[in-house]
Structure 1
């Protein structure tokens, strides 16, 4: 009887959160799956069923596949660049200053650098986009091109050249994301007993050996979390592409990403059924990659 009362209390406590989750999370997914099988234009109360015609259209949509290729590029470049830089900076801030009195320390001014690295995280994505519009301006008014012109070089169309526009946006994503992962990895390094590093340093291990033989293996779980987060972020990019790109995904669709294409298809072309099919495709791509990433990066946990 007592156990039944406990179960009743737990069920009653969880009922409202579960109902809210079903209504506001699960229900929109189910509706999106349903709408992807219709030709709904956003107006009629009863959309007509069109079967899998929207999914067939996806395979023939050149812009959709350009967006998918851009996401593949993001999946490779964003985690690799962000995690590499964050690991490097966090190692310097925590252990890169050498030893003093037998104790390892970070580089001089490491507390100040932590604030500098984390600063982009406090800025809204739209504000970051507006800031980098000034950085990437194609004339002498741009920060980068102004410097290039000052030394006698030709200005570069960072956001107007199809071959480099998406790389310019990736650079902004990296700049904004690094600070968070510096803090994340610094917290992970702080949890590792300093005795481990000091014993290795006394045995003659240099910074290179400390990083690859001790720091990286003991931070693997934290690194795995960062990899998953960044992989999911690689399927987004809506706000920065919306603000920075030429004509929302240009030039020549070179900066197209699926969230922006979904928004354009639904609210600019009133093709909500087709936009829902894009959303369903994006959902399965994200889930599939997250599961694969967890499988591939799984390894035996190291105790310390």
Structure 2
């Protein structure tokens, strides 16, 4: 066993663990990224981060994303998955809505589009002058939205961007939950129907507890995406949006490293981002363990 585990473990250490250790070391230097020399400065970069209002704003935006995006995406995906699997007629065989296979295929389309294409496409849709959104709203009589800058207004920039991310991933997680729900014995749903349980009660008491591990996995992956979100934010608001309202840590890290040539300082940002991501994942697993798992069916 040791022989078989040795090579994979060595590869993991070299290509995963080693870069993390290297980044942690660089974060305690003043390395510019383009010189062989660097001076060890300890935790000075981390102290600077605490007093960096722009980075703290980016951290706050990431926290907003990690709270809102997973919850909204998973709730909508779970509802859609329930509708296309067990949300059909309340009589006869347990099945989804009519033409549910068509809905699954259509909802999955956005996920197969590269993130950068989605960002460019929605930037055009949100365009103040010729965008589809303003065109539809003004056509419906809402003249106040004529030339409204969805991505250029501090009040709407983050909301508009989050909508795009949810739109891009809701189909993928719906398919994930569909597969999980299909693994639940139909007899459980039939028994709930006989006992008079409604759709909401069935969802809360049977479906969610039995696919809890899948929901946990989806929440972690969606949370990691929210803590990054570099492609969407960079394409739709490369400058961080009005008053940095859509700026995220990965954007600030990128500009610090490749625009200001402060690789040591940007490495500190990367370490903070990695620490926040690990803390988030650990918190999700802890909450799931404390609140129970498949034994919650009742």
**TM bucket by the smaller chain?**
over 0.9
Measured against aligned partners, the alpha-carbon deviations of 1:221-274 in whole angstroms (never above 9, x if no partner) come to 2111111111222211000001001x4312221111011111110001100010
Query: Which residue is equivalent to 2:111?
Result: 121
Query: Which residue is equivalent to 2:127?
Result: 137
The answer to whether the 8 Å contact 2:24/2:271 transfers is: yes
Larger Rg over CA atoms: 1
Is 1:60 paired with 2:21? no
- Cα–Cα, structure 1 residues 99 and 149, in superposed 2: closer, same or farther, change >3 Å? closer
Measured against aligned partners, the alpha-carbon deviations of 1:259-294 in whole angstroms (never above 9, x if no partner) come to 111111000110001000000111111111211111
Query: Which residue is equivalent to 2:184?
Result: 192
**Range with greater deviation from structure 2 (271-280 or 14-23):** 14-23
Is 1:76 paired with 2:67? yes
Query: Which residue is equivalent to 1:4?
Result: none
Measured against aligned partners, the alpha-carbon deviations of 1:60-90 in whole angstroms (never above 9, x if no partner) come to 1111111111111112111110011011100
Structure 1 residue ranges (4+ consecutive) displaced by more than 4 angstroms after TM superposition: none
Q: CA deviation at 1:49?
A: 1.3
Measured against aligned partners, the alpha-carbon deviations of 1:190-212 in whole angstroms (never above 9, x if no partner) come to 00000110121122222122212
The answer to whether the 8 Å contact 2:256/2:263 transfers is: yes
Listed as ranges, the matches of 1:203-222 within 5 Å are 203-222=195-214
**TM-score, structure 2 normalization:** 0.94
Task: Name the CA distance, whole Å, in 1 between partners of 2:201 and 2:34.
Answer: 63
Listed as ranges, the matches of 1:15-164 within 5 Å are 15-100=6-91, 102-139=92-129, 141-152=130-141, 153=143, 154-155=145-146, 156-164=148-156
Give the unaligned 5+ runs of structure 2. Answer: none
Q: 1:241 aligns with which of 226, 230, 233?
A: 233
Measured against aligned partners, the alpha-carbon deviations of 1:159-209 in whole angstroms (never above 9, x if no partner) come to 000121111111111111111110111111100000110121122222122
Task: Name the CA distance, whole Å, in 1 between partners of 2:140 and 2:219.
Answer: 39
Task: Name the CA distance, whole Å, in 2 between partners of 1:12 and 1:213.
Answer: 46
Query: Which residue is equivalent to 1:6?
Result: none
Task: Name the CA distance, whole Å, in 1 between partners of 2:34 and 2:292.
Answer: 54
Q: State the aligned residue count.
A: 292
Task: Name the CA distance, whole Å, in 2 between partners of 1:51 and 1:256.
Answer: 27
Task: Name the CA distance, whole Å, in 2 between partners of 1:65 and 1:182.
Answer: 34
Task: Name the CA distance, whole Å, in 2 between partners of 1:251 and 1:59.
Answer: 22
Give the unaligned 5+ runs of structure 1. Answer: 1-9
Task: Name the CA distance, whole Å, in 2 between partners of 1:301 and 1:161.
Answer: 43
Task: Name the CA distance, whole Å, in 2 between partners of 1:208 and 1:263.
Answer: 45
Q: Report the secondary structure of 1:235's partner residue.
A: helix
CA RMSD in angstroms comes to 1.5
Task: Name the CA distance, whole Å, in 2 between partners of 1:219 and 1:121.
Answer: 22
The answer to whether the 8 Å contact 2:234/2:251 transfers is: yes
